[in-house]
Structure 1
Amino acid sequence: MRSSPAGPFAFGRASSGGWGAARALALLALLAASAPSRVPAAASDPLRAPARTLDVPYEPTAPEVVDAMLRLAGVSPGDVVYDLGCGDGRIVIAAAKLGARAVGVDLDPERVREARANARAAGVESRVEIREGDLFEADLRPASVVMLYLWPEVNLRLRPKLLAELRPGTRVVSHAHDMGDWEPRRTAVVGGARILLWTIPGRKAR
């Protein structure tokens, strides 16, 4: 998040005797005390915060990193690739060009429109579905590959969902960020970017 250099308030030079500064500080304290909080209380703990408060800014993945993520996952025509936080759709489009079916999920309507338009322009619209919605509410059960470029705390919150919904053997690839104490099966570095691969383990018999 970028902050304004001057902030929302600007004060002139204090009058003689410091009364101008004192009044300004008193006014600022009053405004701060009376202003409603813009962040839910639960957001102080990112592992408990509602998904929609975790506003991951859009940052596109470089094309060479996209290709490396797909290679690391071994994406092939039989795969169903999910990209959580798909942005402009570049990962799902690249997966579709390899013959896979691909699903992108993004909360930003503008990114969703852009991704759909890009899929049409690339000629892979029939193999790509872009869904507008919260990634924590997406049904991941059909996926054989899940792609992530999120914040570390969002990755951590995703772990129970991935284990609960994904089938054993499903590959999970993250650009830049790990999954806490999960040990990656493989890693790669491309253009200075770190990529990590995990495989969902088999479920223990009860």
Structure 2
Amino acid sequence: MKTLKTTSFSIILSIFAVTIAVAQTTAPPKLDVPYVPTRQVVVDAMLDLAKVTNKDVVYDLGCGDGRIVITAAKKYGATGKGIDINPERIAEAKQNAKAADVTGRVEFEVGNMFETDFSKASVVTLYLLPSVNMKLRPKLLRELKPGTRIVSHAFDMGDWEPEKTIEVDGAKIYFWTVPEKK
């Protein structure tokens, strides 16, 4: 009888361990920022403030459903890349790009923005939290070429004074240009 109890307990323990392992591999990614889509009027103002053209490469860090990069491609003829840690958002962004007929101009990638190379960008857009902007700032200044434009919806970058701040439909938008390296 004791062997049966031990065997049953071992089986239950094994099932529990496998269940935990599967849950850990399929758990949603830890997000630094909740997903809140940028309203289209704000997207338009961000891209306008950055003076996006068909020569630009727009990177959206934490791209969500892809609307900023898609709008840059559709409205201005820019190319672009969206990075998001959430695979569901990337799948949605790819569907939205297909629906907008811009798949040849944009790409979307599941990735961590702190581990992604975005040095090819001429414009970087953000809608992150202040703490994430501050953590990201050294990487932006280190990796981006001088003259690259950075536009942030809602949140600044601490003591790095924006060159311009505008308000659109109740939302603040901040603009910086990456300075020459010292």
Equivalent position amino acid for 1:190 in 2: V
For 2:24, the equivalent position in structure 1 comes to none
Query: d(CA) in 1 for partners of 2:47 and 2:91?
Result: 23
- Cα deviation digits, residues 70-126 of structure 1 (max 9, x gap): 000000000000000000000000001111011000010100000000000000000
Higher relative contact order, structure no. (Cα contacts within 8 Å, ≥ 6 residues apart): 2
Query: d(CA) in 1 for partners of 2:133 and 2:166?
Result: 18
For 1:23, the equivalent position in structure 2 comes to none
For 1:64, the equivalent position in structure 2 comes to 41
> What is the SS of the residue equivalent to 1:103?
strand
Query: d(CA) in 2 for partners of 1:104 and 1:53?
Result: 18
Q: Does the 8 Å contact 2:31/2:85 carry over to 1?
A: no
Length-normalised TM-score, structure 2: 0.82
Query: d(CA) in 1 for partners of 2:31 and 2:89?
Result: 17
Aligned match for 1:115, one of 93, 101, 105: 93
Aligned match for 1:196, one of 158, 174, 182: 174
Equivalent position amino acid for 1:81 in 2: V
Query: d(CA) in 1 for partners of 2:114 and 2:73?
Result: 23
Q: Which structure has the larger Rg over C-alpha atoms?
A: 1
For 2:156, the equivalent position in structure 1 comes to 178
> What is the SS of the residue equivalent to 1:82?
strand
Equivalent position amino acid for 2:65 in 1: D
- Identity of aligned pairs, percent? 63
Q: Does the 8 Å contact 1:54/1:154 carry over to 2?
A: no
Q: Does the 8 Å contact 2:32/2:132 carry over to 1?
A: no
Equivalent position amino acid for 2:135 in 1: R
How many positions carry a matched residue from both structures?
153
- The offset of 1:53, in angstroms, is 5.1
Q: Give the CA RMSD over aligned residues.
A: 0.9
Query: d(CA) in 1 for partners of 2:125 and 2:165?
Result: 14
- Cα deviation digits, residues 105-162 of structure 1 (max 9, x gap): 0010100000000000000000001010101111011000000000100000001100
> What is the SS of the residue equivalent to 1:104?
strand
Length-normalised TM-score, structure 1: 0.73
- The offset of 1:54, in angstroms, is 5.0
Query: d(CA) in 2 for partners of 1:120 and 1:140?
Result: 23
For 1:55, the equivalent position in structure 2 comes to 32
For 2:125, the equivalent position in structure 1 comes to 147
Give matches, 1:126-145, under 5 Å. Answer: 126-145=104-123
Query: d(CA) in 1 for partners of 2:134 and 2:31?
Result: 12
Aligned match for 2:70, one of 81, 84, 93: 93
- The offset of 1:55, in angstroms, is 2.6
